[in-house]
Every structure is written in structure tokens, then in C-alpha cells.
Amino acid sequence: MDHIHISLPSETVFHVGSFVVTNSILTSFLVSIVICVVLIAVARRTAVAPNKGVGFVVESAAETIVEQMTTVLGSRQVALKYFPLIATFFFFILFNNWLGLIPGFTHIMVTTPDGVVPLLRRTTSDLNTTIALALISFFLTLAFGFKQLGVWGTLKRYFHGNPFMWGIGLMELVLEFTRILSFSFRLFGNIFAGEVLLIVISALVPVVVPTPFLGFELFVGAVQAYVFSILTLVFISLAVTPVAEEH
Amino acid sequence: MEAQLQNLAAGLTVAIGAIGPGIGIGLIGAKAIEAVGRNPETQGRVTSLMILTIAFTESLAIFALVFGFIIKFLG
């Protein structure tokens, strides 16, 4: 089993000054460029009613996301306001999860001072990336809440009504911060576990058997992208809703 | 010996910690499907509530995973 290569931290490929460039950073840039090129190319020649090609796929995906957001937020106008953030999360995580499943993607090796390491690695199987995404999600939720309700209104969501019940509000406030942990480890855990599963299965039986697992990983990647973006949206919708006045 | 025990502890932490959330997520899913079966037009609302509740339940299993990593790599 000594030919199995599993690494929890991402490996350093090269340095720019004192800045360490790891293989997951390279992949995230690659994914960003792919997304930008595809989406800008589609946006440049929009048709009124596209019925084939990439434009059709992208427009139906965008429409589906807006519809999903409308069922959560209750109004299409509000949904369109948060659409850029949620769609960015969705497409970035989805492309990252799926690009790494292309056979041979992680097998391009380069020689570095630290030894032979893969040039590319799924960004979402690196904890640094998922923590960064979780922090973005958490602080933007907070910012949207402050913008909509003000600092006082946001605090009022936790401390309202009977002062004896404020202890529960305090506990809820502390629990908000565990969201950073659960957001980042949910994505990282699912994708990293899937990667380890694929590596181990292909090492045991290299032919035919890994195929259904690859299909399953495609499914998991899509579900995790959906869960991350929809959960961000649900927490945003909770944060911008003022607490109901008691009568 | 000690390193082996540490591996065992990490594995057991995740394994035992996943039992409760596993049962919980099953119950949530079952009840959500029951609710949609009784009242099909509420599907959109029920689905988003279900995902939110599952996320809270799942975070317990994720804490177990974090503690497993801590035992394995920092213990």
C-alpha cells in the first residue's frame, strides 16, 4: 500500500518571495479563470430565448438558482439582490468539486525542493480554502444583518422579551460562531473523505469498480455546493428578518 | 503501542460521534417526507427547513470529526 499518496495539508509547489504557492491555490486560480471565461463568453452573446449550447445550460442553471432562492426568501426581488453571492459560492464550489474528478487531474507531478508533489489538487479538500469560504459567508451574513436591521436590531434578535430569557439568547449568539467551524468542516470532510475513498478503491481494484464511486462523488460534489450556498442563504434570511414584536 | 491506541481513539471518536447524528438525520428526513406526502404543495418550504435542521444535526458529527483530527494529529 506504499504507493497510495494521501496528504492532509496542501503541498508547496513554489515560492513567490516569502509567499508560499500551494497546489490548491493553483487549482483555485485555474477554476476562477475557467468560470470567468465561460460565464463572460456566455454573457457577451445572450440570446432572448437560447435553446441549445452552453448558453442554454448556464441560463437554466441561473434561473433554477433564482427559483430556489425565491422559495427560501419569499420574493424574487430580494432573491435577485443576494443572487451574485450565492451563485458565486455555488459555481466556485461545484467547479472545484467536479474538476478534481477528471481522471488524471491530480496525477500531474512536479519536482520541487520538498520532493515530487502533484501540481493540482481539489481546492475544497484543503481546509484553508473551506475556512476562507466559511469566514466570507459568516461575515457577509453579519454585514447584511447590520445593513438591514442596524447593530441594535441585530442584537435585539437575541435579547428580546423577558430579561430572564436573555441567557438563552447569549447561548444562541455564541452558537452562531460555531457556524464557521461547521461550514468549513462539512465541506472539507465530505470532499476529503470522497478523495480518500476514490484513492483507496482505485488502489485495491483499478478497473471498473471505481466507476460507480466516481458517479457518487459527482453527486456528493453537487449536493455539497447546494448545501453550502442554500445554508448561507437561509442564515442571511434569518439575519435580515426583524424579530416579531410581542403583544 | 501508544500511537496505535491514539489511532484507535481517533477512529472511535468519529465512529461513536456519528451514531447520534445518523439517527437524527434519518428521523428528520423521514418526517420531512411524511410532511410532503401529507401536504405536497409545501415541498419548497419543507425542503429548505429540512436542510437547515440537518445542518444543525450534522454539525455534531462534524465536531466529532474535528476532535478525531485533534487526537490524531495534535494529541
Q: What is chain A's pLDDT, residue by residue, as a tens digit (247 residues)?
A: 456 667 777 777 777 778 888 888 888 998 999 899 988 888 887 666 666 777 788 888 888 899 888 888 888 898 899 999 999 999 999 988 998 888 777 777 777 777 777 888 888 888 889 999 999 999 999 999 999 888 888 888 788 777 777 888 888 888 888 889 889 988 988 888 888 888 888 888 888 888 898 898 898 898 889 889 988 998 898 888 877 655 4
d(CA A21, CA B54): 36
Listed in sequence order, the DSSP H helices in chain B are 2-38, 43-69
Percent helix, strand and coil across chain A, each rounded to 5? 70, 5, 20
Question: What is residue A245's predicted lDDT score, i.e. its pLDDT?
Answer: 58
**A72 contacts on B by Cβ (under 8 Å):** 48
Question: What is residue A244's predicted lDDT score, i.e. its pLDDT?
Answer: 67
pTM above 0.90, yes or no: no
What value of ipTM does the predicted structure carry?
Answer: 0.71
Bridge partners, A109 (sequence order): A118
Nearest residue, CB atoms, A71 vs list B44, B55, B58: B44
d(CA A126, CA A247): 49
Dump pLDDT digits (tens) for B18-27. 999 999 999 9
d(CA A129, CA A23): 12
Sign of CA dihedral B60, A195, A132, A98: negative
Q: Using beta carbons and an 8 Å cutoff, which residues of A are at the interface with B?
A: 8, 71-72, 178, 181-182, 185-186, 189, 227, 230-231, 234
